[in-house]
């Protein structure tokens, strides 16, 4: 079935949902975005995603073409129009149409795109058996150059690392910052467990402030587990008991091998499985 896409100020047919070649989102990756899940007809953590989108936009001096409330209504309208009960929303704000130079001030109106569709998930088997990762040689963007908290349309830094992983047939890569500390995976946040304590690199180490990350930290604490944010090195990942990633698409996924070394006993560990379980039921049953 053809989708209805929200384009700027209204829903249009998928075939009409086209963007100008002069949009600076395309020409320069100048824009911001969000990926959001729909579970059981409910939009998961919608306000947190909208807040992060506005923060990202503010950080790059981009005016979102509508207010938060109006945007929430546009998202809900798009989800309803496409009858998405369980799926994924891609929310994009581009700098808009301008001239060929870098100057963003030639772009008079920011572009807004909302896509509500099905989601491509990792196979269930990967959650049961756990995923392999490598350490990327591509260093995460220096936070003083482009703060990784900004969910910008320019993902080249992560894409270069992702290719390193795909080159050796693993789905994900861990990225380190300019000081060698763990930043994040190419599209997910990183956690480890050691002696039943959960450690997460601080956001300032160079990661997106993941919304799944925040939910998982909250759920872990509700389970009485200690969560500590501290800088982690490659050594910490090599010797940890459990390693897992969190993200909107992946939810919570156990990592069982890094750089050819087994983690723990080579299967997703008990705390990873507990948190995956808790997250799964929280996402699907929670009131709006």
The residue ranges that bind ligand PMP (CB under 6 A) are 35, 158, 184, 187-189, 207-208, 210-213, 246-248
Closer CB to ligand PMP, residue 48 or residue 81?
A: 48
Q: Residue 182 pairs with which residues in a beta bridge?
A: 176
Q: Are 278 and 272 in contact (CB under 8 A)?
A: no
Nearest approach, Cβ of residue 37 and ligand PMP (Å): 9
Cα separation, 226 vs 57, whole angstroms: 33
Closer CB to ligand PMP, residue 19 or residue 283?
A: 283
How does DSSP assign 147-184, residue by residue? -TTS-BS--HHHHHHHHHHHHTT-SEEEEE-TTS-EEE
Nearest approach, Cβ of residue 178 and ligand PMP (Å): 16
Closer CB to ligand PMP, residue 26 or residue 119?
A: 119
In the set 151, 162, 230, 288, the catalytic residue is: 151
Q: Are 184 and 235 in contact (CB under 8 A)?
A: no
Cα separation, 240 vs 229, whole angstroms: 15
Nearest approach, Cβ of residue 216 and ligand PMP (Å): 9
List the structure tokens of 146: 């482009």
Closer CB to ligand PMP, residue 27 or residue 200?
A: 200
Cα separation, 48 vs 71, whole angstroms: 13
Cα separation, 222 vs 230, whole angstroms: 20
Query: Is 68 an annotated catalytic residue?
Result: no
Nearest approach, Cβ of residue 175 and ligand PMP (Å): 8
Q: Are 114 and 57 in contact (CB under 8 A)?
A: no
What are the catalytic residues? 151
């Amino acid at each position: 079935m053809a989708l209805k896409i929200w384009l700027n100020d209204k829903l249009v047919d998928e075939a009409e949902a086209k963007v100008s070649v002069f949009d600076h989102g395309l020409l320069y990756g100048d824009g911001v975005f969000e990926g959001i899940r729909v579970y059981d007809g409910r939009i998961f953590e919608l306000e947190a995603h909208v807040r992060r989108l506005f923060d990202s936009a503010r950080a790059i001096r981009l005016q979102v073409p509508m207010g938060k409330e109006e945007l929430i209504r546009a998202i809900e309208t798009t989800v309803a129009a496409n009858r998405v009960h369980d799926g994924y929303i891609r929310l994009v704000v581009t700098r808009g149409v301008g001239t060929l130079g870098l100057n963003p001030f030639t772009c008079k109106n920011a572009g807004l795109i909302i896509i509500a569709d099905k989601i491509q998930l990792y196979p269930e088997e990967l959650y049961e058996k756990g995923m392999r990762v490598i350490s990327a040689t591509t260093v995460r963007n220096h936070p003083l150059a482009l703060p990784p908290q900004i969910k910008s349309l320019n993902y080249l830094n992560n894409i270069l690392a992702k290719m390193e992983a795909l080159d050796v047939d693993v789905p994900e890569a861990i990225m380190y910052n300019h000081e060698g500390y763990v930043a994040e995976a190419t599209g997910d946040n990183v956690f480890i467990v050691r002696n039943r304590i959960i450690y997460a690199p601080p956001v300032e180490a160079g990661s997106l402030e993941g919304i799944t990350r925040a939910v998982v930290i909250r759920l872990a604490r509700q389970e009485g587990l200690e969560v500590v944010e501290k800088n982690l090195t490659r050594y910490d990942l090599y010797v940890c008991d459990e390693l897992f990633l969190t993200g909107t698409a992946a939810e919570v996924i156990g990592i069982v091998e890094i750089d050819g070394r087994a983690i723990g006993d080579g299967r997703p560990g008990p705390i990873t499985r507990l948190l995956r379980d808790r997250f799964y039921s929280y996402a699907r049953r929670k009131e709006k």
